[in-house]
Structure 1
Amino acid sequence: MATKEQEISRTRDLEGLSSEWLLEAYLTMFTSRRVDDREISLKRQNKTFFQVSGAGHEAVQVAMAAHLKSGHDWFYGYYRDRALALAVGQTPLDHLLGAVGASTDPNSAGRQMPSHFTDPGLHLATMSSPTGTQFLQAVGAAEAGYRAMLIPELRATMEDFEEDEVVLVCSGEGATSEGEFWEALNTACNLKLPVVFLIEDNGYAISVPVEVNTAGGSISKLVSGFPDLFIVECDGTDLTDSHRAAGKAVRHCRMRRGPALVHAHTVRLHSHSLSDDAKAYRAAAEREEELARDPLPQARALLIDRGVVTPEELDGLEEDVENEVEAAANEAGNHPQPEPETVLLHLYSEEVDPTSKSFDTEDSPEFESELPLTTVDLLNLCLGDELERDHRIVLFGQDIADASREQVLEEAKGKGGVFKVTHGLQRRFGGHRVFNSPLAEANIVGRAIGMAQRGLRPVVEIQFFDYIWPAFMQIRDELATIRFRSHGQFSAPVVIRVPYGGYLTGGGPFHSQTGETLFTHTPGLRVVLPSNASDANGLLRTAIRCDDPVIFLEHKH
């Protein structure tokens, strides 16, 4: 059973919290709120096209950031995490440039909606709008470090790897109903990965209340059966209680005891976004109760009551913040919009051209054989050559290992995929580089994305094209857009191998599908379908060595 600390402590124990940190935390919260307010004003003036607020979530975000290190740990946030992004190093100008869609927006160069915070130097992974997709990517990012600890040659290639690194992934309670949340928890617990799941529970997924969204109304109770998952619940509007909970969760992960989940009870002080009206589905009394739990007045009173600062001093500091935010908004409004001709920039890698002569390779010595070699033979040879050449490559998917229980290989011949493409590769390169995944296609692709963002080169397999659809959002909305939406700051060169097409005797309608057009119409994705065995060998080699995501279709005949 999970280790749990389910009681909500509302004590104001300041032990270990310096006056300097308390003041800094409050000013970060206040800055976040004022940037929200400024964006709301800009939206009403039609100077931005959207606004989503983090008001009510600030305390737990700032408290969590206090235990993590930017540029050391990794952050997979979501659109309400403004205070977190500010706490780890972003500025009001960074956010307001994103709000107005400026070409100088450091998050996406004006390509994304506001509040999609991105900064590779701070290890703020590029955000997207689909809720819940970040869970598996965060697990993949943590797994990259896990694999680095097991594979010395891989570790030597990862400049940003830290032995005590932690990955933080955040969401509201609504996204915990996505299946990928449960897939992520499953893998994180199975591998005891250092992932902190911060669930910012404000009670509503747009208009859906938590008791409709979550069985029993409590996500922390619902996940309590996961092994090695440390669970702590806190008042996410209380700065000190949030600091206590966050510290325990991060320490658990730094000590490599497994993942942790912080269930923070927050409030949503505005509607879901300015495109929503909470008055349509929330009672006035409920909204008034939430206003009474606003974390900013609580933190302000704490500072004054404890003598950290006088009301007059705090008034002056708040005025400084107001002036900074106003100046940032004015400056952002003067920045240019993206030029139309830049729309295709960073759709694919500008540095690596897979059609160039640099991709010409000599045949492997094993290519010459007295017997005719099949497509399976040549794909297997290619994968072996590439695993030998590049220690960043890992292979995983359902049934692709020879045997997960390696001791049986003393007497068993090994599986190596349902079509034997990966047969013998685990024996040759070890179970840390060639391994099985759960039967979960989104899990396979989502983890691969997180690994690739850390510098690994995952080559994964979806067992049949017919079963690729659970991974479709990870492929189309995530994998294909990462380079574009981050304006080239992040990339994910993942190769997805997929047996494809009909003519499998007895295969029926669910082992015979095509459907490549859905992927060829996806900008940012390369799709390869070799016509013969020799081409399959060379094209797979090119797919692995290029710097873009590739769907590699392997016809069964």
Structure 2
Amino acid sequence: MAATPPQTATAEPLTREQRVALYRTIYAARRIDDKEITGKRQNKVFFQINGVGHEALQAAAAMCLRPGHDWFFFYYRDRALAYGLGYTAKDMFLGSVGAEADPASGGRQMPSHWGHRALNIFTTSSPTGSQFLQAVGAAEAILRAEQGGLQEQLGIKSDEVVLVTTGDGTCSEGEFWEGVSNAVNLKVPVVFLVEDNGYAISVPSEVQYPGGNVAALLKGYEAHGLLIVDDVDGCDPVASHAALQAAVAHARSRKGPALVRARVIRPYSHSLSDDEQLYKSKAQRDEEARRDPVRTFAERLVAQGDLTEAQLQMLRDEVQAEVDAAWAEAEAAAPPASGSFYRHLYSEDVDPTSAAFDTEHAAGDQATGAKTMIDLINATLKHEMARDPRILVFGEDVADASRAEILEEVKGKGGVFKATHGLQKQFGGHRVYNSPLAEATIVGRAIGLAARGFKPVVEIQFFDYIWPAMQQLRDELANIRWRSNGTFAAPVVVRVPIAGYLMGGATYHSQCGESTFTHIPGLRVVCPSSALDAAGLLRTAIRCEDPVLFLEPKHLYRQTHNKGNDPGPEFMIPFGKARTVREGRDLSVITYGNTVHRAVQAAREAEKEGISVEILDLRTLNPYDWSAIERTVKKTHRVIVAHEDTLSWGYGSELAARIADELFFHLDAPVRRVAAKDTWVAYQPALEDEILPQPKDFLEAYRKLMKV
């Protein structure tokens, strides 16, 4: 399909100095790309992806915004934009060679994944589309800070704007549509810049979405405050400047978000791993060359008298000298130190496994006034929200009522399990609020808010529905600190009800799957089995500086056997500290969550048969308490690892393997496991009981192990 020529926007007059500065950014970005490509061919650079053809639009964007004041969420083609904001050629080349001094990642990420704390360029990642919701969250932080009077504390300025960039192909991603919808609904000051070069690698725009113009599909949002500036000539920096000036002014004046779609070119292949001649005709490639801003804008500057030919050449020589000198310095830069890969996996300032988080002795008397797990989760949230005004609670149905005018009339929802009941009434709708029914939205916005200094404690309504947020959880939340080499962090707490034993929960309300998340470096995973543990571990999760997945076995929410007193506002349990639920001599059970009580029930029966069972509740799954495991194995010499998830590939497999590997000579019998059948959880209660581990399964396992 032939592309129609893009329209040229009416431009505000720019000074000669501004026009020349635009060209300098355009030319410098091109020469940096070319130098990096040469380095790749010399095996001095290990990956290369270029921003060629996008430079004019990006140079204009840089001129319309304020580095270190506004915030930026990029994708991987934004070289000219980064350069225009102050990201030097040397900084870029340090990333190209993977140097320790690379400001984006310290050599941990591919080149062109920009990140710079002083310039407010948030760490960029490869998964296309993950940046949109984070940008909306960062812009949302501006409004939440104003509502809560936290601007000074968080360093947030009232006139900030957030810019988020994308290629045309990424607009096919669901998170793009969630991002735009959230931005319009919240009326946040964010500008979406669509750099439309017509292709996502080899797939043209018209295959991505109907008509090949995403801006045309968003027209309905204009009535709700979205400014759309469409069909801008992105190869004309003056026209691009006019379009972006209008969009930024709209957002900065708090009229709502804006979206600019500009037609750019991609005269080089997608990356050095691609060959565009395989899918672009010669006529297409010739047309792109005709529009190349490195040539066309230079000719324009000479024609209108901004530069003479000699001055133009002098500018080019100056840029080339800068690029060559920067490359020479980067080539000589030191690589990351051997063994440094573990640095910044978690916070190096706040250690939730330390004694500072161990106040378990302050629990008080549990015999009177005992409360359920759901009650203590609610009480802990109230304690912590009163203590820290940065805490925001949001998710599906977590508010008492989205419509504040009826709060006096209704009792309030407060979550489907009532964990957040009363929080909105106590702390206000600017701190406790409902999100759309979109799990990626919840986690993505939380990341943006956390990056700006808030402490989001969000809820995914059921673990079974966490999967739409998986990209935000795994590829973003868990590795932001590591991939940025400690420059950025997102200490979000994600609360989620998990597991079965519900009588009717069935396939989509009874899932486990915790091993999927304990497999993710950088993510703390917690799973309490008692009300008191839930209170202490939730407080630790909120006060630590790492992202935490807080799993709440919903079957245990209102049980009586695991009740506990409210231990007060300073009660914490450190991560990685197991609890011995029951002392024993003959065998040990290592477990957590719903299966703790079933193991105890079976142990009581086993004791009648002369079998003494010790039960260890891990409480946290990443990290887990290896020293406690060692102690109990060395004490009883027989061990069962138990969990509610399926037997194959479950969390217990790792524990069993490590025990067999490191404690083999302390074992009098093979390590055994008790777990669910390798299938889904059924709706019919009798069938559910057969699938999930029951006390009788534990008792049978105890008997068999003692016979070995």
Could you say which TM-score interval applies, normalised by the shorter chain? over 0.9
Greater mean alpha carbon deviation, residues 219-228 or residues 29-38: 219-228
Does residue 185 in structure 1 map to residue 180 in structure 2?
A: yes
**2:52 counterpart residue number:** 55
| Matches for 1:122-141 after TM superposition, within 5 Å | 122-141=119-138
Tell me how far apart the structure 1 counterparts of residues 511 and 191 of structure 2 sit (CA, whole Å): 39
Cα displacement (A) at 1:25: 1.1
**2:420 counterpart residue number:** 422
SS in 1 for 2:525: strand
SS in 2 for 1:250: helix
Residue pair 1:366, 1:381 contacting (<8 A) in 2 also: no
Tell me how far apart the structure 2 counterparts of residues 31 and 522 of structure 1 sit (CA, whole Å): 39
Cα displacement (A) at 1:506: 1.3
Greater mean alpha carbon deviation, residues 299-308 or residues 424-433: 299-308
Tell me how far apart the structure 2 counterparts of residues 65 and 285 of structure 1 sit (CA, whole Å): 32
Tell me how far apart the structure 1 counterparts of residues 448 and 200 of structure 2 sit (CA, whole Å): 26
Amino acid at match of 2:120: H
Amino acid at match of 1:155: Q
Tell me how far apart the structure 2 counterparts of residues 188 and 140 of structure 1 sit (CA, whole Å): 9
| Matches for 1:223-262 after TM superposition, within 5 Å | 223-226=218-221, 227-233=224-230, 234-262=232-260
Residues 249-294 of structure 1 deviation map (CA, whole Å, 9 limit, x = unaligned): 0010011111000001000011110001111111111111111110
| Matches for 1:234-313 after TM superposition, within 5 Å | 234-313=232-311
**Structure 2: unaligned runs, 5 residues or longer:** 557-708
Residues 469-511 of structure 1 deviation map (CA, whole Å, 9 limit, x = unaligned): 0000000000011000100000000000000110122111100
Cα displacement (A) at 1:370: 4.4
Specify whether residues 517 and 362 from structure 1 end up closer, same or farther in structure 2 by C-alpha distance, changes over 3 A only.
Answer: closer
Residue pair 2:9, 2:242 contacting (<8 A) in 1 also: no
Tell me how far apart the structure 2 counterparts of residues 42 and 412 of structure 1 sit (CA, whole Å): 66
Does residue 173 in structure 1 map to residue 175 in structure 2?
A: no
Q: If the length of structure 1 is used for normalisation, what is the TM-score?
A: 0.96
Q: Which protein has greater RCO, CA pairs closer than 8 Å, 6+ apart?
A: 1
| Matches for 1:40-51 after TM superposition, within 5 Å | 40-51=37-48
Cα displacement (A) at 1:404: 0.5
Specify whether residues 480 and 364 from structure 1 end up closer, same or farther in structure 2 by C-alpha distance, changes over 3 A only.
Answer: same
Amino acid at match of 1:293: R
**2:16 counterpart residue number:** 19
**2:445 counterpart residue number:** 447
Does residue 217 in structure 1 map to residue 215 in structure 2?
A: no
Q: If the length of structure 2 is used for normalisation, what is the TM-score?
A: 0.76
**2:695 counterpart residue number:** none
Does residue 109 in structure 1 map to residue 102 in structure 2?
A: no
**1:533 counterpart residue number:** 531
SS in 2 for 1:261: strand
Specify whether residues 255 and 355 from structure 1 end up closer, same or farther in structure 2 by C-alpha distance, changes over 3 A only.
Answer: same
| Matches for 1:59-74 after TM superposition, within 5 Å | 59-74=56-71
- C-alpha RMSD over aligned residues: 1.7
Residue pair 2:401, 2:412 contacting (<8 A) in 1 also: yes
Tell me how far apart the structure 2 counterparts of residues 364 and 259 of structure 1 sit (CA, whole Å): 49
Q: Structure 1 residue aligned with 2:470, among 448, 472, 477?
A: 472
Tell me how far apart the structure 1 counterparts of residues 347 and 363 of structure 2 sit (CA, whole Å): 31
Residue pair 1:157, 1:392 contacting (<8 A) in 2 also: no
Cα displacement (A) at 1:367: 9.3
| Matches for 1:518-557 after TM superposition, within 5 Å | 518-556=516-554, 557=556
**1:78 counterpart residue number:** 75
**2:151 counterpart residue number:** 155
Residue pair 1:9, 1:241 contacting (<8 A) in 2 also: no
Does residue 205 in structure 1 map to residue 203 in structure 2?
A: no
From the CA coordinates, give the structure whose radius of gyration is larger.
2
Tell me how far apart the structure 2 counterparts of residues 493 and 195 of structure 1 sit (CA, whole Å): 23
**1:3 counterpart residue number:** none
Residue pair 1:106, 1:118 contacting (<8 A) in 2 also: yes
**2:140 counterpart residue number:** 143
Residue pair 2:9, 2:240 contacting (<8 A) in 1 also: no
Specify whether residues 121 and 338 from structure 1 end up closer, same or farther in structure 2 by C-alpha distance, changes over 3 A only.
Answer: same
Amino acid at match of 2:58: Q
Greater mean alpha carbon deviation, residues 440-449 or residues 410-419: 410-419
Cα displacement (A) at 1:358: 2.1
Tell me how far apart the structure 2 counterparts of residues 130 and 409 of structure 1 sit (CA, whole Å): 41
Cα displacement (A) at 1:378: 0.5
**2:455 counterpart residue number:** 457
Residue pair 1:236, 1:265 contacting (<8 A) in 2 also: yes
Tell me how far apart the structure 1 counterparts of residues 153 and 552 of structure 2 sit (CA, whole Å): 30
**2:642 counterpart residue number:** none
| Matches for 1:319-330 after TM superposition, within 5 Å | 319-330=317-328
Residue pair 2:73, 2:163 contacting (<8 A) in 1 also: yes
Residue pair 1:228, 1:257 contacting (<8 A) in 2 also: yes
**2:510 counterpart residue number:** 512
Residue pair 1:466, 1:510 contacting (<8 A) in 2 also: yes
Cα displacement (A) at 1:8: 5.5
| Matches for 1:311-390 after TM superposition, within 5 Å | 311-361=309-359, 370-390=368-388
Q: Structure 2 residue aligned with 1:164, among 145, 159, 180?
A: 159
Amino acid at match of 1:174: G
Tell me how far apart the structure 2 counterparts of residues 115 and 244 of structure 1 sit (CA, whole Å): 26
Tell me how far apart the structure 2 counterparts of residues 54 and 458 of structure 1 sit (CA, whole Å): 34
SS in 1 for 2:153: coil
Residues 33-91 of structure 1 deviation map (CA, whole Å, 9 limit, x = unaligned): 00000011011111111111101000111111111100110000111000000001110
SS in 2 for 1:66: helix
Residue pair 2:6, 2:263 contacting (<8 A) in 1 also: no
Specify whether residues 32 and 177 from structure 1 end up closer, same or farther in structure 2 by C-alpha distance, changes over 3 A only.
Answer: same
**1:489 counterpart residue number:** 487
Cα displacement (A) at 1:410: 1.9
Amino acid at match of 1:204: Y
SS in 2 for 1:319: helix
Cα displacement (A) at 1:366: 11
Residues 497-539 of structure 1 deviation map (CA, whole Å, 9 limit, x = unaligned): 0001101221111000000001101000000001211010000
Cα displacement (A) at 1:95: 0.4
Tell me how far apart the structure 2 counterparts of residues 512 and 70 of structure 1 sit (CA, whole Å): 48
Cα displacement (A) at 1:411: 2.2
Tell me how far apart the structure 1 counterparts of residues 452 and 81 of structure 2 sit (CA, whole Å): 21
Specify whether residues 376 and 7 from structure 1 end up closer, same or farther in structure 2 by C-alpha distance, changes over 3 A only.
Answer: farther
Residues 394-452 of structure 1 deviation map (CA, whole Å, 9 limit, x = unaligned): 00000000111122222211110111100011110011100000000000000000000
Tell me how far apart the structure 1 counterparts of residues 33 and 134 of structure 2 sit (CA, whole Å): 27
Residue pair 2:443, 2:472 contacting (<8 A) in 1 also: yes
Tell me how far apart the structure 2 counterparts of residues 256 and 9 of structure 1 sit (CA, whole Å): 27
**Structure 1: unaligned runs, 5 residues or longer:** 1-5
